[in-house]
Structure 1
């Protein structure tokens, strides 16, 4: 996070992505950490890994990539706008995961430029989990954005109160201590009146609500639409594989499909 903070100092940056893949062999799951993650995100305590959990295992690698000197944007200020996770087979705490992270597909967005950070986890050489996180670097208009899909999740079936501590609690279990999530001052520096919930927490909370209904192998697509200002009251909806989280405005919309 210190390297990320130093990255906001103005300097000349490259216009292309680094040809770099960061790897970590044999990443083990700490069951105490897994239990803490489950509690913060609303999952049942279990040895089965939530679909979002490998994201936090690989977060240190992703941060090293995003804070590399030859990355075209500063990490602080990047906006996580979409995510696609594919679970190729059920994952458990006994597995030792080989992780790899790289960036690809730098392209225009109506509010700047966007890039995909691709993460994979393998066991004995076979890929068991992949994730594509799309980040936006805001700048003057450089092209057109993909229009978010309409919400197809139907009417809300649950109302959740999201306390202010979710920002710091998720930061503790994820390692993502971006001040927009944990500090009112930090949030205001980036244009938010209050700290906002992590996008990956809101996705994990939605998937926790679907525990027992998710296929063992599946793909989860989500678009993050509006940040959740903490504290908040949000409404969850799910129908025919589509899910949504809304408040006064839509926060996210996603879909689960069998892989």
Structure 2
């Protein structure tokens, strides 16, 4: 298999490391923060080759219900929201990104896009085998971007997978800019605004409530004081919360591909408008676009 990116060795050649329990996120955040100043990102750096595997993953139904409430999904059904396997796999992704071998500093890493393929409805009471690995690095007009892959399997078959891109902003020499390929458009659409369908007034504690349900306690989402340490005037909403909230409004879909690009942070508290037409949706604040996305159906698998 030819390398797609520097450092990509191919799935067949990746060693796997099986975990017995999901890693704790708080120590990983602390470790990643301490190691961040020691890292010097570059798109030709190598990435950790290991695939982390967590078998027999069960959903905490109380935590799932809290997630559904904060994101606007209906509660009580034996079905996972299309974004929820990302929550299950996030501790594995954090273990990789907080490690010494991951070349990008965790502090300041920006989630720029996500693509999710769900092949059928996923039961909340089922057991899943999770696999997470870094597919590789790529140059970006603002720095270096990493692609992190998460897969969920049932009986050996992939039923859900995602590709998330994370950007590390950094300066580059002139020759780096000269050889950089043109950046691909970050988002399914960059055209005229979609028709507005709803307006949401977001409370200042949305980040804290989502953090409690998801486990993602990045300080930029929790409080104005901690957000200011990273250059934000107020706390900002999690990017994956904005996607989930839009998909909850869009309506349930069993077998889909979802693509979303994060354009600008959503400050909390604040007011945003949800717009959609056909497969496309977006989140706006006045004239500013925070998120663009689309939902495309897949053929439903039999059995």
Q: Does 1:164 align with 2:204?
A: yes
Match of 1:65 in 2: 96
Q: Deviations over 1:83-117 (max 9, x none)?
A: 00010110011210000000013111010010110
Q: Secondary structure at the match of 1:29?
A: coil
Aligned residues: CA RMSD: 1.5
From 89, 96, 103, give the equivalent of 2:134.
103
Q: Deviations over 1:32-87 (max 9, x none)?
A: 11111100100000221000001111111011010111000121211000000010
CA distance in 2, matches of 1:8, 1:105: 19
Q: Secondary structure at the match of 2:144?
A: strand
Q: Does 1:29 align with 2:68?
A: no
Q: Deviations over 1:166-185 (max 9, x none)?
A: 11111111111111111323
Q: Is the CA contact (8 Å cut-off) linking 1:88 and 1:217 kept in structure 2? A: yes
Match of 1:226 in 2: 264
Q: Is the CA contact (8 Å cut-off) linking 2:264 and 2:291 kept in structure 1? A: yes
Q: Is the CA contact (8 Å cut-off) linking 1:153 and 1:239 kept in structure 2? A: no
Match of 2:274 in 1: 236
Query: In 2 relative to 1, CA 252–48 (structure 1 residues): closer, same or farther, beyond 3 Å?
Result: same
Q: Unmatched 5+ residue regions in structure 2?
A: 1-28, 299-303
Could you tell me the TM-score, scaled by structure 1's length? 0.95
Q: Is the CA contact (8 Å cut-off) linking 1:153 and 1:238 kept in structure 2? A: no
Match of 2:295 in 1: 256
Q: Does 1:210 align with 2:235?
A: no
Q: Is the CA contact (8 Å cut-off) linking 2:41 and 2:105 kept in structure 1? A: no
Query: In 2 relative to 1, CA 154–11 (structure 1 residues): closer, same or farther, beyond 3 Å?
Result: closer
Match of 2:7 in 1: none
- How far 1:7 sits from its partner (Å)? 2.2
Q: Deviations over 1:105-140 (max 9, x none)?
A: 311101001011000000010100001000000012
Q: Unmatched 5+ residue regions in structure 1?
A: none
Kindly tell me the number of residue pairs found equivalent between the two proteins.
257
- How far 1:151 sits from its partner (Å)? 4.4
From 134, 145, 162, give the equivalent of 1:131.
162
Could you tell me the TM-score, scaled by structure 2's length? 0.81
Q: Is the CA contact (8 Å cut-off) linking 1:151 and 1:244 kept in structure 2? A: no
